[in-house]
Amino acid sequence: MDDLVYTRATSIDEALSLLDRHGSKAQLLAGGTDVVVGLREGRLAARVLVGIEALEGLREIRVDGGDLEIGAGVTFTTLAGDPLVRELAPALAEAASLVGSPQVRNRGTLGGNLGTASPAGDTFAPLLAHEARVSLLSRDSRRTLSIDKYLTYRQATCVERQNLIDRVLVPIPREAAFRSVFVRLGRRNALAVSRMNLALLVAFEAERPVRARMVLGAVGLVPVLVDGAEKEILTERGNELVRGTVGCAAAAVAGSLGDRPSAPYKTRAVESLVREGLRRCGLID
């Protein structure tokens, strides 16, 4: 790490210029909870760290039109406690509250979670349940990708280093009422990453479910929208609902993990996540 240079960007434009100028040698540094570990372990080859942790413009949370806009530099601690996030994307606030330890939550950011895009990242299932979009800047362009496209693209290409995520857009559900929850299966050690997690969003009209998105995280490189779960939630009740949604979720786990060693365990363990998600969305007792 001897020849590593740290430069603190004073604006988003300056950060983009530095990324552009140093190309593959440059790496953004937000909270550093992944970057510092990666450098210590020799996994990252960066020679120029572009510090963006001081950029106020990346820390805003606001409602704009039909979206909740969350700056990429918002920490997990802020996400977990922010009234707008808790009201409009409760599963995301809950996921953030369960990340790592207080130290990691105080420094780690939403943009850093997306930048690393670890298969076990805790924010992705809630973001996919809420159909979030990721806004990416480079020196000469702005693109907005759906979260699933972003993650697939990130896994395939490692995203060009010249990209900076400035914010995440979470659509505000248009229905009269909704619930969204996050359930995580992990070792009870505060520093263990999720073994598997589930986010469930259910929207209601006149107290009846009219839309639902069940997503499983940490069951492969990218989170999976559970096929068939919405139909079960809109049409079934009680034991039939549990049986149907657990079946859909188990099929999604099996389809995503194939013959990986964790598949038999996760295919069975998903039942407790689904039951807990349904119960907390008020669909079963």
Ligand X SMILES: Cc1cc2nc3c(=O)[nH]c(=O)nc-3n(C[C@H](O)[C@H](O)[C@H](O)COP(=O)(O)OP(=O)(O)OC[C@H]3O[C@@H](n4cnc5c(N)ncnc54)[C@H](O)[C@@H]3O)c2cc1C
What does the binding site for ligand X look like in residue numbers (CB under 6 A)? 27-35, 37, 52, 72, 99-100, 104, 107-109, 111-113, 115-116, 121-122, 163-165, 191, 193
Rounded least distance, CB 267 to ligand X, Å: 23
**Nearer Cβ to ligand X (144/235):** 144
Rounded least distance, CB 268 to ligand X, Å: 23
Rounded least distance, CB 8 to ligand X, Å: 13
**Nearer Cβ to ligand X (193/284):** 193
**Nearer Cβ to ligand X (45/191):** 191
Buried b (16+ CB within 10 A) or exposed e, 31-70: bbbbbeebbeeeebebebbbbbbebeebbebeeeeebbbb
**Nearer Cβ to ligand X (121/173):** 121
**Nearer Cβ to ligand X (100/247):** 100
**Nearer Cβ to ligand X (99/281):** 99
Rounded least distance, CB 179 to ligand X, Å: 22
DSSP string, the chain: -TT-EEEE-SSHHHHHHHHHHHGGGEEEESS-TTHHHHHHTT----SEEEE-TT-GGGS-EEEETTEEEEETT-BHHHHHH-HHHHHH-HHHHHHHHTSS-HHHHHH-BHHHHHHH--TT-SSHHHHHHTT-EEEEEETTEEEEEEHHHHHHHHHHH---TT-EEEEEEEEPP-SSEEEEEEEEE--SSTTPPPSEEEEEEEEEETTEEEEEEEEEESSSSS-EE-TTHHHHHHH--HHHHHHHHHHHHHHHHHHHHTT-TTHHHHHHHHHHHHHHHHHHTTS--
Rounded least distance, CB 100 to ligand X, Å: 3
**Nearer Cβ to ligand X (42/258):** 42
Rounded least distance, CB 184 to ligand X, Å: 8
DSSP string, 201-241: EEEEETTEEEEEEEEEESSSSS-EE-TTHHHHHHH--HHHH
Rounded least distance, CB 38 to ligand X, Å: 7
**Nearer Cβ to ligand X (52/70):** 52
Rounded least distance, CB 107 to ligand X, Å: 6
